[in-house]
């Protein structure tokens, strides 16, 4: 083993420039592979975080304007969703597990002991926390008992809490004024950019004597697993609303729909293709380095014909020649490959510090499993690079090698 290591070291020293130039190609291939894998992982991580922090098994709907005439109605008619659409959708579409609604109430201030905020609040159902991706919360969100008992409670952002009370930690359990009424703060949440305030929908409707029109409806579905089933459920929901509001079910503008489950399935497939594409591009880039290593090993074999001939003449077996050539090839590939690996991981750390918190890009680093996969790729690449030169070396005949010398 020590003799083999010494021989490999001596070969590299005798061909420094050629080895370095070839090694750069290998290092670049591994560097690009790591950076591409890390960047793809950042996109996938962001996608998975978005998926886990939101209810992907849902269909969201907004009021729209008809684009087709229907039963004597002209196009251009405004179709407004109502809160009693909830019962109709829940009762008629079998895949629906729950329906939640929300509406915006603006035009007034929320007043605290230190200051006030404008813009009103959103009147919601409990499931809105998941829809709005509000999970980092002190206290609680609007719950079902608030809905049933028409409680005057409010959930505010930490930024608004600090403005209203001087200190966000002092807001919980305190009261604010809105619509000339007192509301108890039961939750203070932290979000990257959202600052809306939330109250129970039923409380707001009772206070205002509202007409039941809502801005948004979220339909939760269950028991479906394919894109086709998701689209069929969307079609059924649209048909229920079309019958209730008298518009053509084929009119996609009458009610705006975002089928999150269908989008989730399509994005999941896109992530699979993204990973595959990254590996293909990375491997192709690495192949340039493999070709370079293979070439240098062919040259090395040609230059060492006399040496190989002598070894064969004194009884060296072909396997020992193959092992030596393969070992040299793997050593060169591994040495410069790990230089590229370390450089690539360093670049990913820089990207993580600069872009790690950006929307659509999260933790663009490679884990131990990727490192293991790249290590295996390096070994295989080195073996492939040295295989053909090694086979050629075993075909050297001692007599002819000595005669050439």
Q: Tell me the mean pLDDT in the region 168-182.
A: 93
| Beta bridge partners of residue 181, listed in sequence order | 178
pLDDT higher than 70, residue 297: no
What is the structure's pLDDT at 19?
A: 72
Calculate the alpha carbon distances from 17 to 22, 23, 333 in Å. 9, 10, 15
Q: State how beta strands 121-124 and 198-200 pair.
A: parallel
Residue ranges of the alpha helices (H) in 227-360?
Answer: 227-245, 260-303, 305-313, 318-355
Q: Work out the percent of the chain whose per-residue pLDDT is above 70.
A: 73
SS3 1: coil
pLDDT digits (tens, 9 = 90+) for 341-386: 888 888 888 877 776 555 556 667 776 676 667 667 767 776 776 6
Looking at residue 147, its pLDDT comes to 94
Q: Choose between 294 and 339: higher pLDDT.
A: 339
Q: What is the pLDDT of residue 53?
A: 47
pLDDT digits (tens, 9 = 90+) for 321-332: 777 777 777 777
pLDDT at 312: 67
Distance CA 214, CA 82 (A): 5
Q: Please say if the pLDDT value at position 197 is more than 50.
A: yes
What is the predicted pLDDT for the residue at 378? 66
More confident residue, 382 or 247: 247
- Is the pLDDT assigned to residue 32 strictly greater than 90? no
Least confident of 46-50, 104-108, 256-260, 398-402: 398-402
Strands 153-157 and 181-189: parallel
Taking 90 as the threshold, does the pLDDT of residue 230 lie above it? no
**H-state helical runs in 109-196:** 128-131, 144-149, 158-165
Instruction: Dump pLDDT digits (tens) for 269-285.
Output: 777 777 777 777 767 76
Residue 161 tokens read as: 């809490």
- In angstroms, the CA 399 to CA 405 distance is 10
For the segment 11-15, the average pLDDT, to the nearest whole number, is 64
Phi, psi (5° rounding) for residue 127? Answer: -70, -5
Residues 166-182, buried b or exposed e (16+ Cβ, 10 A)? eebebbbeeebebbeee
Measured CA to CA, the distance from residue 382 to residue 326 in angstroms comes to: 7
Give the per-residue pLDDT at 338. 81
The mean per-residue pLDDT over the stretch 186-213 comes to 90
In terms of average pLDDT, the best of 40-44, 119-123, 299-303 is 119-123
User: What local confidence, expressed as pLDDT, does residue 203 receive?
Assistant: 94
The distance from CA 262 to its chain's CA centroid, rounded to whole angstroms, is 16
- The 10s digit of each residue's pLDDT in 55-74 is 567 888 999 999 999 988 89
Q: What is the predicted pLDDT for the residue at 119?
A: 87
Q: State residue 79's pLDDT score.
A: 92
Q: Tell me the average pLDDT of the chain.
A: 80
pLDDT digits (tens, 9 = 90+) for 79-109: 999 989 988 998 898 888 888 889 988 888 9
């Amino acid at each position: 083993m020590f003799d083999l290591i010494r021989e490999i070291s001596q070969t590299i020293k005798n061909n420094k420039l050629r080895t370095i130039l070839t090694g750069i190609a290998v290092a670049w291939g591994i560097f690009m592979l790591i950076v591409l894998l890390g960047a793809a992982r950042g996109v996938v991580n962001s996608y998975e975080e978005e998926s886990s922090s939101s209810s992907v098994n849902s269909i969201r709907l907004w009021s729209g304007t008809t684009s087709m005439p229907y039963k004597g109605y002209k196009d251009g008619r405004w179709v407004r969703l109502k809160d009693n659409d909830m019962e109709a959708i829940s009762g008629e579409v079998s895949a629906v597990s729950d329906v939640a609604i929300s509406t915006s109430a603006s035009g007034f201030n929320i007043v605290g002991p230190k200051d006030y905020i404008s813009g009103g609040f959103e009147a919601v159902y409990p499931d809105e926390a998941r829809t709005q991706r509000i999970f980092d919360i002190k206290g609680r969100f609007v719950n079902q008992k608030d809905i049933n008992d028409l409680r005057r409670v409010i959930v505010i952002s930490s930024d608004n809490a600090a403005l209203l009370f001087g200190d966000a930690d002092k807001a919980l359990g305190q009261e604010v004024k809105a619509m000339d009424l007192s509301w108890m703060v039961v939750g203070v949440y932290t979000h990257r950019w959202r600052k809306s305030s939330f109250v129970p929908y039923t409380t707001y409707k009772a206070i205002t004597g509202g007409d039941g029109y809502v801005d948004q409806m979220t339909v939760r579905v269950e028991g479906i697993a394919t894109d086709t089933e998701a689209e069929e459920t969307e079609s059924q929901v649209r048909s229920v609303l079309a019958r209730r509001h008298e518009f053509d079910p084929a009119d996609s503008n009458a009610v705006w729909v975002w089928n999150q489950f269908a989008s989730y399935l399509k994005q999941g497939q896109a992530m699979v293709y993204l990973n595959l594409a990254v590996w293909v591009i990375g491997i192709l880039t690495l192949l340039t380095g493999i070709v370079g290593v293979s070439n240098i090993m062919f040259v090395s074999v040609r230059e060492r014909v006399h040496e190989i001939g002598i070894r064969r003449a004194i009884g060296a077996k072909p396997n020992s020649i193959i092992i030596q050539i393969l070992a040299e090839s793997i050593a060169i590939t591994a040495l410069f490959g790990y230089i590229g690996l370390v450089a690539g991981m360093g670049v990913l750390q820089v990207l993580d510090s600069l872009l790690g918190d950006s929307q659509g890009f999260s933790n663009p680093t490679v884990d131990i499993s990727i490192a293991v996969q790249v290590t295996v790729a390096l070994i295989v690449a080195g073996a492939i690079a040295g295989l053909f030169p090694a086979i050629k070396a075993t075909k050297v005949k001692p007599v002819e090698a000595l005669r050439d010398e």
